[in-house]
A and B are shown apart, each in its own frame.
Chain A
Amino acid sequence: MKKIVVACGTGGVTSKNIAMKIEKYLKSKGVEASVTTCRVLEVADLVSQVHPDVVCSATELPPLDVPTVRATAILTGVGTEKVYQQILDLVR
């Protein structure tokens, strides 16, 4: 089971929105993933606890030890395929 963390400003609406879409996309590609959301301030701590495969965010992330993907496109609806592909490649 792949692990993904999605961070946003409040760890609420935006990150959940993105998380849902990533989960759906990965499922359609046959990849089972558990996606958690959090606030940007907590992301470093969460990463050291959970060791996700990828961290995605709608906003800037602090430097992390795991691969990160800027997922703003998932919110705007413009250029989503590229971002999804990036995530898929990192997770496979």
Chain B
Amino acid sequence: MDALLGAMSWYAALPAAVMVMIGIFLVGLLLARLKVLDALRSAIYVAAAIVGMNAMVGMFAGAATPVLQLVVESTGLKLDIIDLGVGSSYASVLFPLSFYSILLVVGLLVNVAMILLKFTDTFDVDVFNYSVWALAASYVWVITGSIPLAILAYAINEAIVLKFADLTAPAIEKAYGLDGVSIPHGNAVIFAPVGIFVNWVIEKIPALAKIDWSPEKIEERFGGMVSPSTIGFVMGIVLGAAGGKDFGQTLLLGITIAAFMIVFPRIENILVEGITPVADGMREICTKKFNLDLHIGLDAAILIGMPDVMATGILVTPFILLLAFILPGNRVMPMADLAIAAPFLISCCMPYCKKNIFRGLIAGIIVMIITLYVCTATADWYTACAAMNGLPFESTSTTLGICSSWVAWGIAKVFALFA
């Protein structure tokens, strides 16, 4: 027993990227039944991506944080929590959890158990997004210091999200013709109730219920503006100017932030390249054992291309900034996720809003209000977790795309009561 605990503490004390490499290697070899060299390649790619992503997050935070602080001081607005983007969560908080590999295994086992017990109809093949459930685990680990409790929090988060996926599958299938698919995407599917609520309210008000906008025109006119590199560049310029920097420094800030927006996804691709063989292996092991009529759980990205989701996302995006400034008690400065958060988070509302963009916009604004408050409430845990992983952020940080999960926040609050 002592030897095992000793080994685990030794493992947890290794540098994060090393832990990730060993963990992915073992899962790839043992669970996904990859050949040794393939498992090794996956492990190295994922670990390398973690290193690369962390370097980029550091560059971004290093450039943006000081200027942001200047702006905060001079305007008196307390927007001190910086949104570092979804990638920062993968690179610094979730994948580097010392027990992340255990979470991958637990994730699969819990899904299988729930299927066998008929608690869910969803078989989530999207192993990459197991990471989203790990948010609850990271909060609980920070609050209680206990890895077993964190794993339990993860399992609870997973169960809740799988249930949401089951419940929303019929509406999504009907709206988009995606048969046999459900969306157990931890941060998107949990906002479906907002869509249901908004649609129900609006249908009671005839004057509003009539309003319907066309997605094509919106995409045509505004689609080009919502490109991450453009938004990043503009934000950099605005921040630089507001922070009183000279011409050269301001443009440099614009370029640095745009660089982050453009380069980061490429590095994320490396992570995907590494984890896909592992995820596929894990899935194949399971599909060989099951022949049930299950929904296949997928990433919410498959909904993003739908015109109504895209158009609504485009319209909601500027509201994120506006809300950040006017909501009392909000401390989050939207930055890295500004261009991509909206389409994701509202994607599962759209089927319930009958793909009506006006209703989607209202739902989206409510989703963003919730997002900003939940991100404010969880930023300390999120930042502490990165520090505990040995990959500390420069200052209190969050990410709109991931930390908006009110489910993770709720689970953490409950555990905090008992801690």
A residues near B (Cβ < 8 Å) are 7-17, 20-21, 37, 39-42, 57-62, 72, 75-78
Asked if A8 and B296 make an inter-chain contact with CB atoms under 8 angstroms apart, the answer reads: no
Asked if B66 is at the interface (CB within 8 A of a chain A CB), the reply is: no
- Expressed in whole angstroms, the Cα–Cα distance for A60 and B307 within the complex equals 8
Asked if B310 and A14 make an inter-chain contact with CB atoms under 8 angstroms apart, the answer reads: no
Q: Which residues of chain B are within 8 angstroms of A72 by Cβ–Cβ distance?
A: 178, 181, 298, 302
Q: Which of A8, A15, A42, A75 has the most CB of B within 10 A?
A: A75
Asked if B343 and A12 make an inter-chain contact with CB atoms under 8 angstroms apart, the answer reads: no
Q: Which residues of chain B are within 8 angstroms of A61 by Cβ–Cβ distance?
A: 305
Q: In whole Å, how far is B361's beta carbon from the nearest beta carbon of chain A?
A: 18
Which of A10, A20, A21, A62 lies in contact with B301, CB distance below 8 A? A10
Asked if B269 is at the interface (CB within 8 A of a chain A CB), the reply is: yes
Known: A16-B273, A59-B306, A76-B181. A8 touches B283 (CB 8 A): no
Asked if B110 is at the interface (CB within 8 A of a chain A CB), the reply is: no
Asked if B276 and A17 make an inter-chain contact with CB atoms under 8 angstroms apart, the answer reads: yes
Asked if B287 and A77 make an inter-chain contact with CB atoms under 8 angstroms apart, the answer reads: yes
Asked if A12 and B298 make an inter-chain contact with CB atoms under 8 angstroms apart, the answer reads: no
Asked if B272 and A16 make an inter-chain contact with CB atoms under 8 angstroms apart, the answer reads: yes
Q: Which of A10, A15, A37 has the most CB of B within 10 A?
A: A10
Which of A15, A60, A75 lies in contact with B298, CB distance below 8 A? A75
Asked if B125 is at the interface (CB within 8 A of a chain A CB), the reply is: yes
Asked if A41 and B178 make an inter-chain contact with CB atoms under 8 angstroms apart, the answer reads: no
Asked if B380 is at the interface (CB within 8 A of a chain A CB), the reply is: no
Return the CB mask of B305-333 against A: 1 if under 8 Å, else 0.
11100100000000000000000000000
- The interface residues of chain A, by DSSP majority, are classed as mixed
Asked if B155 is at the interface (CB within 8 A of a chain A CB), the reply is: no
Asked if B223 is at the interface (CB within 8 A of a chain A CB), the reply is: yes
9 shortest A-B CB distances, which residue pairs? A9-B304, A59-B305, A9-B301, A14-B301, A40-B305, A76-B296, A16-B272, A58-B302, A60-B305
Asked if B82 is at the interface (CB within 8 A of a chain A CB), the reply is: no
Asked if B166 is at the interface (CB within 8 A of a chain A CB), the reply is: no
Q: Which residues of chain B are within 8 angstroms of A15 by Cβ–Cβ distance?
A: 301
Asked if B299 and A14 make an inter-chain contact with CB atoms under 8 angstroms apart, the answer reads: yes
Given A13-B272, A16-B273, A40-B305, 9 new contacts (CB under 8 A): A9-B303, A10-B265, A10-B340, A12-B265, A13-B301, A60-B306, A72-B181, A77-B287, A77-B296
Return the CB mask of B117-142 against A: 1 if under 8 Å, else 0.
00000000110110000000000000
Asked if B34 is at the interface (CB within 8 A of a chain A CB), the reply is: no
Asked if B226 and A76 make an inter-chain contact with CB atoms under 8 angstroms apart, the answer reads: no
Asked if A14 and B268 make an inter-chain contact with CB atoms under 8 angstroms apart, the answer reads: no
